[in-house]
Amino acid sequence: MNTKFEELHDFFGAYFHQDWTIEHESAEEVISAFLTESDIDVLRLVQQEINLLIRDNKDEQKLREYLLKELSCYYCYWNEWGTGEHWLLHIASRLDIMINQLDSST
């Protein structure tokens, strides 16, 4: 198991596992499920780890391999997104919106 990004590994492994397309119609639906099923502390940790992964500046091929082999992500983002960085930034943005909503409701 990847210990550098434990929460990110848990997120991808639990939500973008090999059979994610059986449970969800789209990657956006998967992200929405995660956002509604997770508490704010988990959302913050996943967001932090996504930001750290982006800062690692892996080239596109290495990022694809890392997401699959180390983080157990079985979503082929390159079919919908230009780069892995763009997709990860999108997830981080959705996390930010949800975290802000939860913060403002407390």
Q: Tokens at residue 71, please?
A: 């983080």
Give the residue extent of every domain in the chain: 6-105
**Helices 84-105 & 40-55, crossing angle to 10 degrees?**
150
User: What gap in Å lies between CA 66 and CA 69, rounded to an integer?
Assistant: 5
User: What tens digit of pLDDT does each residue of 44-95 get?
Assistant: 999 999 999 999 999 999 999 999 999 999 999 999 998 999 999 999 999 9
Summarize the confidence of residues 14-41 as an average pLDDT. Answer: 96
Summarize the confidence of residues 12-25 as an average pLDDT. Answer: 95
pTM surpassing 0.85?
A: yes
**Confidence band, pLDDT 50/70/90 cuts, at residue 4:** confident
